[in-house]
Amino acid sequence: MLVTSSLQSSLTEIAAEVSASAAGVRCEPSDAQVLEALTAADRIFALGAGRSGLALQMTAMRLMHLGLTVSVVGEVTAPAIGPKDVLLVASGSGTTAGIVRAAENAKRAGARVIAITTAPESPLGQLADERILVQAPQKQDHSAVASVQYAGSLFEQTVMLIGDVLFHELWARSGASAEELWPRHANLE
């Protein structure tokens, strides 16, 4: 498919923003602790609202391919969270009411919370045991100064990449081959 110069220009601009956002991602207290929390968890629960939630559903699928026990919050088959579990959540603002409430419930149940957010001082950022911090504007920022994209797109794109990076790192550490992961891939498609 031939990409027009207008589309190519937009693609280049968006790719540059995503690259800059990805370069600024940092984990608190450390990336090693984020990976250890995921590896040590009995179960991982993924939750995000809207497009952030869709990005985390992709992450949940990949973590399941590794053989981890993963649930997407809100699905009818998602069990109760407990003390040896991890809630992986994404909220750019860190103030999305349903996400913060779920993190509070997870903490009360004794679970760890890993938050992907732009706002470490937000309610979600403060609840989290580990934070993956993203440099991206809030979706209400319509100034086009921090991003030319609409309503949180840069954050959501970065969340998707973070999910792939988490999977990639855990996969490399597992030593498993792609052939060993493949039998877990959906076959009812």
Number of domains in the chain: 1
Q: Where are the beta strands (DSSP E) in 73-129?
A: 86-90, 112-117
Q: pLDDT at position 189, please?
A: 76
The reply to whether 181 falls in a domain is no
Q: pLDDT at position 152, please?
A: 84
Helix (H) or strand (E) holding 10: helix 5-23
For residue 135, the SS3 value is coil
pTM, to two decimals: 0.92
Reply yes or no on whether 179 is catalytic.
no
The reply to whether 100 falls in a domain is yes
Angle at 28 between CA 23 and CA 33, to 5 degrees: 105
| CATH code of 82's domain | 3.40.50.10490
pLDDT in tens, 5-36: 888 898 999 899 999 999 999 999 999 999 99
Q: Whose structure tokens read 């809207």?
A: 50
Q: pLDDT at position 139, please?
A: 64
Q: pLDDT at position 145, please?
A: 58
Q: pLDDT at position 6, please?
A: 85
Which residues of the chain fall below pLDDT 50? none
Q: pLDDT at position 111, please?
A: 98
Gyration radius of the chain's alpha carbons: 17
Average pLDDT in the chain: 92
The reply to whether 164 falls in a domain is yes
Q: Please tell me which residue in 156, 169, 179, 180 is annotated as part of the active site.
A: 156
pLDDT in tens, 46-58: 999 999 999 999 9
Q: pLDDT at position 85, please?
A: 98
Q: What is the token pair recorded at 12? A: 């280049």
Containing domain of residue 47, as a range?
A: 23-175
